[in-house]
Amino acid sequence: MKKILFVVCTHGDELAGHKLFQDYPYGQTDKVEWEVFVGNPEAVSFNTRFIETDLNRSFDARNPTSYEEKRAELIKLRLQQYDEVYDIHTTRSIHPSSWDDCIFINHSKPEILEACRYINAPHIIWNSDQEYAKRYLTYHHPFALTLEYQKTYDVYSDYERILADFENIIHQEMRLKKQKIIYEASRGVTQQERGIHGLEFEDFRYLTRLEKKQLELPANEDYVPVFVNQTETDADFYCFLTRKIKEI
């Protein structure tokens, strides 16, 4: 029987996922056995993103020292006990009206793309920069997906969207026929760059010609920005610029 791990609260202030831990901490269907695991319990108790360093940027520490870097080492060992891993996040982008949930993957393998069909999110973003991806939890398992749900001001409605996908996964039912678009995360835009050019992006809106010029991107390719960070706390990174590569 397939063993699935759902990780919630890798960021301690993303509490919709915590409800999944409270309601369905473990169990099994006729197809899978699952467990829900709290990524950063210390940060959850303070309802804060992290204690010392962002856990979801702490998985590549050479010499783990912060609470989160040490926690990342424990989590890496834990992940090995499962066949599939889903790391559940809620994120508040700059423009919460866009409502676009998305899936981040680190390897564009067919079986992972197949698993994306359980998830009711229209966009798949492939972290093609393997060096950068090492800092994320899901990089450290061969079959892992990061699910990013837009965080609204209603934790219960966010939870409902998470729960619908959770049900699809544990019953292994691909009810979703909707087409998904795969993007490659081409590069990030830093806070500093944003300041220099005075950029104001929205999620999944194509960059204008002027913006592409300012960022020295090829004019003949389309890019959309995707926010996954807290701009207040993530000093070195602002958003991913992604390039559409195909539809599935």
Residues that bind Zn ion (CB under 5 A): 11, 89
CB of 89 to Zn ion, least distance (A): 3
Task: Assign 93 to helix, strand or coil.
Answer: coil
DSSP state of 147: E
Determine contact, residues 38/18, Cβ cutoff 8 Å: yes
Which is closer to Zn ion, CB of 97 or CB of 233?
A: 233
CB of 169 to Zn ion, least distance (A): 19
N-to-C CA span, the chain: 28
CB of 239 to Zn ion, least distance (A): 14
Which is closer to Zn ion, CB of 89 or CB of 107?
A: 89
Q: How far is CA 64 from CA 52, 71, 149, 201, 228, in A?
A: 12, 9, 29, 34, 24
Which is closer to Zn ion, CB of 35 or CB of 148?
A: 148
Within 10 angstroms of residue 221's Cβ, the number of other Cβ atoms is 11
Which residue, among 40, 16, 191, has the nearest Cα to 101 in the 3D structure? 16
Which is closer to Zn ion, CB of 204 or CB of 227?
A: 227
Which is closer to Zn ion, CB of 212 or CB of 229?
A: 229
Question: Which ranges of 9-153 does DSSP label H, i.e. alpha helix?
Answer: 16-23, 41-45, 67-79, 110-115, 130-133
CB of 90 to Zn ion, least distance (A): 7
CB of 91 to Zn ion, least distance (A): 6
Beta-carbon contacts of 196 under 8 Å, excluding residues fewer than 6 positions away, are none
Which is closer to Zn ion, CB of 43 or CB of 113?
A: 43
| Alpha carbons 68 and 133: distance in angstroms, whole number | 17
CB of 101 to Zn ion, least distance (A): 13
Question: Which ranges of 180-235 does DSSP label H, i.e. alpha helix?
Answer: 191-197, 209-214
Please name the amino acid found at residue 33.
Answer: E
